[in-house]
Structures are given as C-alpha cells and as structure tokens.
Structure 1
Amino acid sequence: MSERSTVGEGLTDARDPMATDAARDRSVAAAGAALRLMAVHAHPDDESSKGAASLAKYAHDGVGVLVVSCTGGERGDVLNPKFADMDIDIPALRVAEMARAAEILGVAHAWLGFTDSGYHEGAPETWTLPEDSFGALDPAIEIEALVRLVRAFRPHVMTTYDENGGYPHPDHIRCHVVSIAAFEAAGDPDAYPGTGDPWQPLKLYYNVGFSKQRMLAINDAVRERTGEGPFDDWIKRFSENPRPDPGVRVTTKIAAADFFPQRDAALKAHETQIDPNAHWFAVPHDIEASVWATDDYELARSLVDTEMPETDLFAGIRERVVS
C-alpha cells in the first residue's frame, strides 16, 4: 500500500459507525488524487448548502475532495416537521445524515471532533456559549487539530467562510478563524510539532452562497414562470436587516449546474435540518441553470499566480501539479 493510501485510511473517523468500506475507499482515493481540495465547514449540512455542486463536480472529475466538519451539529434545532413529535438521538442521527450526504456528493469526510456551540441571537459580544463548545474553546486547540488534518490530506486548495461566517453563527465565525490559521501554519515546520510533515496549501477560498444578486436573479426568473417568488421572504428579511453582501467579493465562478440534483439530494439527506418542501427546493433546475449556473467563491489567499475572474479553484495550480 502506498504512503498516500495509508494517509487516506487515517482520514476516516473510526468512531463513526457509518464509516463503511465505501466511505473508506473514498478517503483513500481522495488522498491519492493528484489534485486535492479540502472544504472546511462548521456543521454537517453546511457542505450541502454551500458549494455542494462544485464539490460533486470536482469529485466526479477525479479531484480528491475531503469535507471537514468542525462540529457534530449536536445543538442544532430540528427543522423538519417530520420529526416534531419524535424522540430522536440528534448526535447519532446527524452522523448518519452526514454519511449519506458524503456518499451522494462522492466525497471523503472527516470530523474535526468539536462540539456545536448552538445558534445565538444578537451581537457576538452578547453570546454566552457552552463551555465545551467549538466557539468557546481555545482556538489553538482547534487550529492544531485542523493542521494535523491538513498535513495528513495535503490539499492544494482549501475552502471555508469569510470573516462574517457567511452568517453570524459562532461556529461559522470560529471556522473562519481556525481555517485561516491552519492554512498559514500547516506549511511552517516550527508550528505545531508532532502533527505531521509540513504541507502548504496554495489557495484559500471563501464560499459565497447567498449573494443578494444571485437570490434576486433566481427569484425573479421563477416568478416570471410560476407567478411566485420562492425567496420573497428571504429577500424581505435581508432588506430589513441588511448584512454585508458577499456577492460583491466574488472572484471565482465554478460552472456546476449539472450537479444541482446531487446538491439537492445531499441537502435532503440532512433531513433533521431541512424540510423537503422548503422553498430551497422550489426552484426548477433549468431555471436556476439559465440565470445562475455557478457556485461562487472569493479568493482569499493565493501563493500562485492567477488571473481574475477565475473559472477553476485550481487555476494556477494544475500546470504545477499535473504534467
């Protein structure tokens, strides 16, 4: 067995009862791929609502894709009415949901091993977080864990959230902090000794999923055909409580319309977190593809030369890695 394959086997969390032979095979294949992408997310389900179509596309094209879930989503609310009157084991169910989503997307998956902080209303300075949670612990512990994983998987590209977390959830904001620090530290031989040989990723991106321009374009196109806008309420809330629009910072658009069905199927696999009748699934794929056929990203760090706008997360890398 090659060194890459040995590393790949180590990426599958042995504590995960859903770590099937197929999941282990995906981990080995991802670690052995010539080009490798690590998508760092706060909770299981985030990978399916942010950039999922492009993850499926890259995996389909032979890129090694590893999704990292920083927490287990243990404190997430149950949002599907199907479970309203059921006594369920949320932590165990979310592990199972994540396993199904990873299989649907065709990606490898690893748990970073921290506990969900729960959603908190109001300004960050008013939050009181559980002491054992991802958002409350010493970030150095979490950075070390991610550095260890980066050095094991050796990604060329990493993706995560911007400084606002995509939206103000403590775990999303901490995910940004940890991802940035791990990107910088993983290649430093003096940083975090004992966590593996140094490895420097070459590019870091922020997911840009819910830009106002994208939501308006899709909403208007659906209304033109059906008479109803599925995102009317979202757009109204955005207008009443404006947040920084990440759409103005997009540098990179990945054509991924062919993988929208896989994206939706993966999101539905997280069934405690999404109502299958939710407005997210009210958009016909042909309409979405006609007005917004891409997953969008912001290039936050690059150690290679590239030209904007980009159409490939590996722009400036492919020619260096693949002969």
Structure 2
Amino acid sequence: MRRLLAVHAHPDDESSKGAATLARYVAEGAQVTVVSCTNGESGSVLNERFEPLHRAARDITGVRRLEMAGAQAALGIDHVWLGYVDSGLPDVGEPLRALSFATLPLEISGRPLVRLIRRLRPQVVVTYDEMGGYPHPDHIRCHEVTMWAVEHAAEGLPELGEPWQVQKVYYDRSMSGPRLQALLGALEATDPDDERLPFVREWAARLGERGHTLTTRVDVGAHLDARDVALRSHASQVDPESRFFFWPNDLLRQAWPTDDYELVRSRVAREGTEDDLFAGVEED
C-alpha cells in the first residue's frame, strides 16, 4: 500500500499547498495523512466576509478545528494534530509566544512526529523548505521538525517504536515564477480585461524564475474542485472570492494542471522529471 504523510504548520496550510495532490492519492487508494503541528490559535480572522466574528473572538481554536474537519472531509484524508501552540507572527524585535511551537527544542517537538512516522510508515513525506515556504516561525520550525523526525525515525529512540526509513522527502513548490507566467499568459488570452491582471503581473515579476529546482509535477486537474472545497472550509482564513487562491479551474487545467514539488531526499533512483510522488517507491 502507498502511504503519504504531509506535515504542515497550521490548519489551512494543507488546503493551500498541495491539497489536490492529497485528494488525487486518496482517490487512487493511498493512505494519506496530514499533520497539523499547531492549533492555529494565534492566528486572526483574515477573511473580511467571515460572519461569526463573535465566535472566533471567543474560541478561535474551536473555529479552526471545525474548519479543519471540513477540509479533511473534502479531501478524504486522515488527520493528526500535534497540538503545539501557534507561535504567531510578531513584529520585528518582538518575542514569540512563550512555550509556542517555534520556541521548543527539536528534541522535544520532534518526538511525537517520530512516533507517528513509525506508526504510519509512510514511504513519502512532504513538507516545506528551509525558509518554510515563507518565513513564518512555525513554517520554518515545521521544516526543521520534519527533517529531524525523518532522520530519527530511521534509527535510535527505541521507546518511540520500531524504526522506519522514509524513502522520499519532498518540499512543496506550489508557487513558482514559471507557473505564474503560464497562468498570466492564459488569463491575458482568455480575458485581457480581467481585473486580476495587474495583481498577477506584479506577483509573477516578484517570483521571477523561482521554481528552477522543481523535480516533480503531479497532474491534479481532476481534483481541483476538492481542493477548492477544502480551502473554503477554512472560512475564517480564506475569502471565498480570493484572487490569490481561486482561479477558474478550466484555466488551471489548460495552463498549469499540476502541483509541483522538489525531491530533496531519496533512497530510490530518479531519472528526469517525475509525475508521481511514489515513482520508484517500494510498496509493502
């Protein structure tokens, strides 16, 4: 059986980064598990259209847990909370929240993930790069914890279960300059008066050639609708009309119908660009 573990910092990250990949592999019969390292309780309501503000003010953790349950159902995935406190995104010079995820030593915060890897035995693990995809303290720590746990799951720490060797580790590369250029060109050809064009042009210029390290492009055209449902489940965080998240899916299928990744650790041979995270993997 094929088994995939995706490790994310906060609830909603799984829906904005590679969600259609998760839905695809679930549909193909793989065991797909998402880990949320934190509860997201230091986040604020980012969607101006979110109506039950009184509820979020009273219990943002509860709101985000319910939202995660909706996304889980939309994607068909298994889900695990590590339960760490969201570190927040303080201003420069301001301290992180005390005892939050990003402040804990790896030797503490990594142990539950080692135990989980050994229990689930994934052949493939997906996470963020050294910069966390973007420099949020919890995203950076998510990278560090994941890489530490993958390494230590393979040997040592006998109290955490039988060792397990992950065969492949990927970084999410869902946003790249070439992808934005392709989508920009398709949007200009489809509707040259689209009000999103100035925003997309600026975004594409900012990304430049970022994405040259891509090794793996997974066709997810048939699973974009599931991704959209999952994203909209995180209603406190995602505006359902967001031009950042939501593109016409027909345009995506035409211009760039893949989720993209960089293979950074592998125990199997790779030849050229992959179209499957499980390429070359030994199943049991």
Superposition TM-score tier, normalisation by shorter sequence: over 0.9
Matches of 2:102 and 2:197, distance apart in 1: 30
Structure 1 partner of 2:188: 223
Aligned Cα root-mean-square deviation (Å): 1.9
Matches of 1:297 and 1:229, distance apart in 2: 30
TM-score if structure 1 supplies the norm length? Answer: 0.82
1:98-155 deviation line (CA, Å, top 9, x unaligned): 0110110010000011011112455xxx452111211111121111111011111110
Structure 2 partner of 1:114: 84
- 1:163-312 alignment to 2 at 5 Å? 163-188=130-155, 190=156, 192-226=157-191, 227-228=193-194, 230=196, 232-233=198-199, 235-236=201-202, 239=205, 246-280=210-244, 282-312=246-276
Matches of 2:131 and 2:201, distance apart in 1: 19
**Structure 1 consecutive aligned stretches of length 4 or more whose deviation exceeds 4 Å:** 242-246
1:231-274 deviation line (CA, Å, top 9, x unaligned): 633652674xx579651110000001110111111000000000
Structure 2 partner of 1:26: none
Matches of 1:117 and 1:36, distance apart in 2: 29
Structure 2 partner of 1:321: 283
2:176–2:207 CA contact under 8 A, matched in 1: no
Q: How many residue pairs get matched?
A: 280
Structure 1 partner of 2:121: 154
Structure 1 unpaired stretches of 5+: 1-33
By relative contact order (CA 8 Å, sep 6+), the higher-ranking structure is: 2
Matched, 1:37 2:4: yes
Matched, 1:93 2:63: yes
Percent same amino acid at aligned positions?
Answer: 45
Q: Secondary structure at the match of 1:87?
A: helix
Aligned-residue offset at 1:207 = 0.4
Matches of 1:96 and 1:196, distance apart in 2: 31
Q: Name the CA shift for 1:170/1:244 in 2 (closer, same or farther; >3 Å).
A: farther
- 1:65-144 alignment to 2 at 5 Å? 65-83=32-50, 86-88=53-55, 89-122=59-92, 126=93, 128-144=95-111
Matches of 1:238 and 1:117, distance apart in 2: 30
Q: Secondary structure at the match of 1:82?
A: coil
Which deviates the most, 227-236 or 263-272?
227-236
1:163–1:177 CA contact under 8 A, matched in 2: yes
Q: Name the CA shift for 1:244/1:131 in 2 (closer, same or farther; >3 Å).
A: farther
1:299-323 deviation line (CA, Å, top 9, x unaligned): 0100111212111111111xx326x
TM-score if structure 2 supplies the norm length? Answer: 0.93
Structure 2 unpaired stretches of 5+: none
Q: Name the CA shift for 1:117/1:181 in 2 (closer, same or farther; >3 Å).
A: same
Opposite residue 199 of structure 1, the aligned amino acid is W
